[in-house]
Every structure is written in structure tokens, then in C-alpha cells.
């Protein structure tokens, strides 16, 4: 049985992923955690096969005052979580990025599509991808 840890406990995506995985309860055990309180830093991730990181912020109006929040949550938290997963010996870390890293609202994306984020959300996701890789 695979053990999966999903960050973003009450998020739409986190809940959706959990529901999808749990369609096969004999094959998977899923735990979810809220990243806001910082208690996750004390957790032992070593019992998990996979950490699926979907915690982040996306749907707040971007202002000059809150731009830093995008980087704190979408970049720094993603990196800290990936680092902890690696240090704890987790075999797989899945980071959910965004189409916003391409700076387009629609169209086809290929491996050749350049990264051209247009806002703090997209830029924070690009920076997280670079740190995690």
C-alpha cells in the first residue's frame, strides 16, 4: 500500500486529489496536512512514499503590499516542503505548478513553450520550480 501525504488540507485541489486517490482504498493511504500553522515542520515525512504539494495561494488580488506573500507561500514553502521530503527520504515529491508560468491564458503548451510569467503568482511558481529542480 502506498502512503501519500497531500499538503493543502482544505484546498479544492488537495481535496480533489485525495478523493481521486481514495477511489482505490486498498492501494493507497492518504493523509492531508494544513501548512499554515507550521506544525508540519515537526512531522516525520519518512513514512510516506509520496508528498503531493498543492498548498499555495492563487486567488487573492495582487497588490504591491501582498506580492511578497506569493513568494513566501508559493516559492519558499514549496522549497521548504520539498527539502524536508528529501531529507526524510520520501521517494517522490510532486509539485503542482501552474499554466501561469507561461504567461498565457489558453493555447497549447509543449516542452518548448518559454516561461513568461506576467504576475507575482506565475513568477513565484517559476522560482519554486527552479529551486525544487
- pLDDT for 31-61, tens place per residue? 999 999 899 999 999 999 999 999 998 888 8
Residue 15's domain comprises 2-132
Question: How confident is the model over 94-110, as a mean pLDDT?
Answer: 87
Question: How confident is the model over 20-34, as a mean pLDDT?
Answer: 96
**Torsion angle of the four alpha carbons 58, 52, 71, 13, in this order, in degrees rounded to the nearest 10:** 10
Q: Long-range contacts of range 86-90, CB-CB < 8 Å, 24 or more positions apart?
A: 88/44, 88/45, 88/46, 89/45, 89/46, 90/5, 90/45, 90/46, 90/48, 90/49, 90/50, 90/51
- Alpha-carbon gap, residue 58 to 73, rounded angstroms: 10
Q: How confident is the model at residue 104 (pLDDT cuts 50, 70, 90)?
A: confident
For the chain, the domain total comes to: 1
Q: What CATH number is associated with residue 10?
A: 3.40.50.720
* 10: Cβ contacts below 8 Å, ≥ 6 apart: 34
DSSP per-residue letters across 41-60:
GGS-GGG-SEEEE-----SS
- With a pLDDT cut of 90, the percent of the chain lying above it is 80
- What residue ranges in the chain does DSSP mark as E strands? 2-7, 28-33, 50-53, 92-95
Q: How confident is the model at residue 62 (pLDDT cuts 50, 70, 90)?
A: confident
Q: How confident is the model at residue 88 (pLDDT cuts 50, 70, 90)?
A: very high
Amino acid at each position: 500500500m502506498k502512503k501519500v501525504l497531500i499538503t493543502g488540507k482544505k484546498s479544492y485541489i488537495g481535496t480533489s486529489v485525495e478523493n481521486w486517490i481514495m477511489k482505490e482504498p486498498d492501494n493507497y493511504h492518504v493523509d492531508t496536512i494544513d501548512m499554515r500553522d507550521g506544525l508540519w515542520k515537526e512531522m516525520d515525512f519518512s513514512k510516506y512514499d509520496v508528498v503531493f504539494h498543492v498548498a499555495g495561494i492563487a486567488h487573492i488580488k495582487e497588490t504591491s503590499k501582498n506580492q511578497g506573500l506569493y513568494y513566501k507561500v508559493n516559492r519558499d514553502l514549496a522549497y521548504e516542503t520539498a527539502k524536508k521530503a528529501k531529507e526524510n527520504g520520501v521517494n517522490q515529491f510532486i509539485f503542482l505548478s501552474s499554466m501561469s508560468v507561461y504567461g498565457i491564458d489558453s493555447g497549447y503548451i509543449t516542452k518548448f513553450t518559454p516561461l513568461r510569467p506576467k504576475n507575482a503568482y506565475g513568477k513565484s511558481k517559476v522560482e519554486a520550480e527552479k529551486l525544487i529542480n
